[in-house]
């Protein structure tokens, strides 16, 4: 029992110390609770520049991904888009564009805040081995994405819903910015 109390006190001291150091530095950050993406609070921020907190040596450099456009998969009348950023995150959205009246791909900037209710996400990417792993929080449960870069223009994605157990393999093709959809 004494050991548990000691561990809890130690963890609390470390967390408080980290918080105190951050407070002393005077940083003001905005956190999107839907995606846990942290970005600078300034509304004038360049939407194509990744949030400063996510830049850690560009962890997706060397992954084979392209960053000057979007990857798109089409299923029926719905388009699914992924825009990766070298800083280690991906912005994602999907749905039937005809019903929305605008191009979904234009919503995908480095600093976009996720909106789960419309299927817009900006989440971290984990690169392990030869695969990229993404988790989004759906309204009914997590959705897991395991991505394999076949070529810089082709991304194979295994999408698995933890809510209903459904799985799908999607073929995403790269479209450079300015490519009509």
- How wide is the angle at C-alpha 33 spanned by C-alphas 12 and 22, nearest 5°? 40
| Residue 137: φ, ψ to 5° | -100, 100
58 in Cβ contact with 87 (< 8 Å): yes
> What average pLDDT score do residues 61-68 get?
86
- How wide is the angle at C-alpha 64 spanned by C-alphas 62 and 67, nearest 5°? 95
**Is this prediction's pTM over 0.95?**
no
- CATH 1.10.20 for domain 53-176, yes or no, is no
- In this structure, of 14-23, 31-40, 77-86, the range with the lowest mean pLDDT score is 31-40
> What average pLDDT score do residues 109-131 get?
90
User: 24-33 burial string, b = 16+ CB within 10 Å, else e?
Assistant: eeeeeeeebe
The share of the chain scoring above pLDDT 90, in percent, equals: 41
């Amino acid at each position: 029992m004494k050991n548990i109390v000691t561990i809890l006190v130690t963890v609390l001291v470390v967390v408080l110390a980290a918080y105190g150091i951050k407070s002393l530095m005077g940083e003001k950050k905005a956190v999107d609770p839907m995606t846990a993406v942290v970005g600078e609070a300034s509304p004038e921020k360049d939407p194509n520049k990744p949030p400063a907190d996510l830049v850690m040596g560009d962890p997706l450099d060397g992954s084979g991904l392209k960053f000057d456009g979007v990857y798109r998969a089409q299923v029926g009348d719905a388009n699914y888009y992924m825009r990766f950023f070298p800083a280690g995150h991906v912005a994602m959205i999907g749905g039937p564009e005809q019903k929305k009246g605008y191009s979904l791909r234009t919503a995908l900037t480095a600093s976009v805040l996720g909106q789960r209710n419309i299927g817009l996400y900006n989440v971290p990417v984990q690169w392990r081995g030869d695969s990229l792993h993404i988790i989004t929080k759906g309204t009914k449960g997590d959705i897991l994405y395991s991505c394999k870069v076949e070529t810089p223009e082709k991304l194979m994605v295994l999408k698995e819903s933890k809510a209903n157990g459904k799985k799908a393999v999607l073929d995403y093709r790269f479209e450079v910015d300015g490519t009509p959809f």
